[in-house]
Structure 1
Amino acid sequence: MRGRYWAGIEAGGTKWLFAVGERSGPPHCTCRIPTEDPERTVRRVAEMLAAYPLVGVGLGSFGPIGVVPERADYGVLRATPKPGWQGFPLRARLEKALGAPVRVVTDVAAAAWGELHLGSGRGLRSLAYVTVGTGVGVACVERGRFVGGGGHPELGHIFLPRAPEDEFPGVCPYHGSCWEGLASGPAVERRTGRRGEELAEDDPVWPVVAHYVAHGLLAVTYACAPERIVLGGGVGSRPIVFRLVRAQFSALLAGYTSFDAPLHAETYIVPPALGDQSGVLGALALAREEFSA
């Protein structure tokens, strides 16, 4: 049967989200399944999408994952801490199960694409999406292209100036005290002994987290100069974190940029307009752009 639908998939460490639609317009359906072992998850994906003859699929995946189409490891998961997934040829398995080609980007890149075209970045030429949650991820889009060459950016693993009197060793299994190791959801839980959603807005951990997020956003600004930064994720979207990050970012910036006009944190650092649908809707938009009926 000739395909008439496009699908977007956001593959996360704990759940997968789907959106299916025609060439344009809102998706016909959105749904989710839990992340299980690789083969079982792929089978569930095929079952969920079996009723839709597909033209193509956009996949925004957790990683690290190969994102360069010309390379043999395109769509292959790399050194992921997710048990059973390291080395799994995700793109190839999905293409076989779905009978349709798959475009692969990272989950945060899919979110950046969704926000640029459908959300907080509509009308702009460039945007950075930063998620601070289970991990820290950054993706930048510039004039219709993702910033990256040999792979995808891993700015969540840069080292940042320490917050005053912060001696926390970090939780990153590779770098310890990188941005992700100091300010991610697991870092908040290790610091406090409680999950972030259980903590009050006046908990002393939030100014520490905001210190690292603000420094990270400053690095993104000076490295990529996006017209806007969308800050999301379970930690990044906390109202107290947002307020503190904007204030600290402005202080760190000290008025120094290469932009034509002054940057105002209130309009430069914004929440995702698409909420938790940024990634899956961005993946659907990528599929529609990449594949023709």
Structure 2
Amino acid sequence: MSKLYGSVEAGGTKFVCAVGDENYQVIEKVQFPTTTPYETIDKTIAFFKRFEADLAAVAIGSFGPIDIDQNSDTYGFITSTPKPNWANVDLLGLLAKDFKIPFYFTTDVNSSAYGEALVRPHVKSLVYYTIGTGIGAGAIQNGDFIGGAGHTEAGHVYVAPHPRDTAKEFVGVCPYHNGCLEGMAAGPSLEARTGVRGELIEQNSEVWDIQAYYIAQAAVQATVLYRPQVIVFGGGVMAQEHMLRRVREKFKALLNNYLPVPDVTDYIVTPAVAENGSATLGNFALAKKLADK
């Protein structure tokens, strides 16, 4: 059998594990809830053990914050996450100890960014945001991730408050920061403002324009910081087509023609990889790259 490559999309809500071939075609894929660390990691190990004889490498894209500094004593750890029981968990170490193959470790949004860039061969600069239970972003320049001492935390930049939030003194749902992007625009902020889960809110509700206002600020930030060719917005909040339209409109108003950008319908988009598969595809490619070294 040809070599296989593993992908772990370690999310705060669920883990998605997959193995793929040298053409990045999925051989098998499973998902299960993110419960306690040991229960979740044991399920992950059991899945990959079935393919161990042909497995060449595995890439992990994890929720964070995580430590990606290979010279650090806590390399491979999930660090200061607010998710109960997962702070200071050695995710990489606990997974890799049962295998004799290399493991690549990065953020889930970096994995997704890598996958999205892979299906856009003409794109050398791309930013990928997940707008879901939390908010994160991965940025790629010429095939490499943006980052230095650690990965970026684009979900925790501060944003200008919407007038309605100012009037109601709403400062978001982030346990660390008042007024950051994640606190103001991630999925839980919808229910915090309205008392209704996001998927049950009518499309004509003004809350969607408030969300779009913050997400458009993220697009402006990405534009002025990285000058990407494409900005991709994934995650559950952006799954509704009306949100993409709202974000594009507000982005144009906020940027106010300050910088030249491509046509907004080509510039601000949703994922090109079907069925939320961006991270899986990216992880296959990262695992293969590691195995080929």
- Name the TM tier (shorter chain): over 0.9
Q: Is the 8 A contact 1:60 1:110 kept in 2?
A: yes
1:264 matched to 2:263? The reply is: yes
* Deviations 1:232-291, CA, capped at 9 Å, x for gaps: 11112322221110011112222222x5xx432111001101141111221111101111
How many pairs align? 287
> 1:79 and 1:44 mapped to 2: Cα distance?
23
Q: Which moved more, 1:241-250 or 1:24-33?
A: 24-33
- Shift of residue 98, structure 1, vs aligned partner: 3.4
SS of 1:6's equivalent in the other structure is strand
1:77 matched to 2:78? The reply is: yes
For 2:179, give the aligned amino acid: S
1:4 matched to 2:6? The reply is: no
* Deviations 1:41-70, CA, capped at 9 Å, x for gaps: 111111111121221100000010011223
> 1:114 and 1:158 mapped to 2: Cα distance?
24
2:110 match: 109
1:15 match: 14
> 1:97 and 1:176 mapped to 2: Cα distance?
41
For 2:246, give the aligned amino acid: L
SS of 2:210's equivalent in the other structure is helix
For 1:290, give the aligned amino acid: L
Q: Is the 8 A contact 1:131 1:137 kept in 2?
A: yes
SS of 2:276's equivalent in the other structure is helix
* Deviations 1:158-211, CA, capped at 9 Å, x for gaps: 111121232312111000221111111011110011111111111110001111
> 1:4 and 1:263 mapped to 2: Cα distance?
40
Q: Is the 8 A contact 1:67 1:152 kept in 2?
A: yes
SS of 1:279's equivalent in the other structure is helix
Q: CA RMSD in A?
A: 1.7
> 2:212 and 2:269 mapped to 1: Cα distance?
15
Pair 92,276 (structure 1): closer, same or farther in 2 beyond 3 Å: same
* Deviations 1:111-136, CA, capped at 9 Å, x for gaps: 00010003xx3321110001111111
Pair 263,22 (structure 1): closer, same or farther in 2 beyond 3 Å: closer
Q: Is the 8 A contact 2:2 2:22 kept in 1?
A: no
1:176 to 155, 163, 178: 178
> 2:253 and 2:96 mapped to 1: Cα distance?
48
- Shift of residue 99, structure 1, vs aligned partner: 3.4
- Shift of residue 3, structure 1, vs aligned partner: 9.1
SS of 2:258's equivalent in the other structure is coil
1:208 to 207, 210, 221: 210
1:241 match: 243
> 1:88 and 1:122 mapped to 2: Cα distance?
36
- Shift of residue 292, structure 1, vs aligned partner: 2.9
Pair 62,25 (structure 1): closer, same or farther in 2 beyond 3 Å: closer
Which runs of structure 2 are paired with 1:15-164 in the superposition (5 Å)?
A: 15-53=14-52, 54-118=55-119, 121-164=120-163
> 1:176 and 1:276 mapped to 2: Cα distance?
30
Q: Is the 8 A contact 2:10 2:60 kept in 1?
A: yes
SS of 2:138's equivalent in the other structure is strand
TM-score by length of 2: 0.93
Pair 70,130 (structure 1): closer, same or farther in 2 beyond 3 Å: same
Gaps of 5+ in 2: none
Q: Is the 8 A contact 2:24 2:284 kept in 1?
A: no
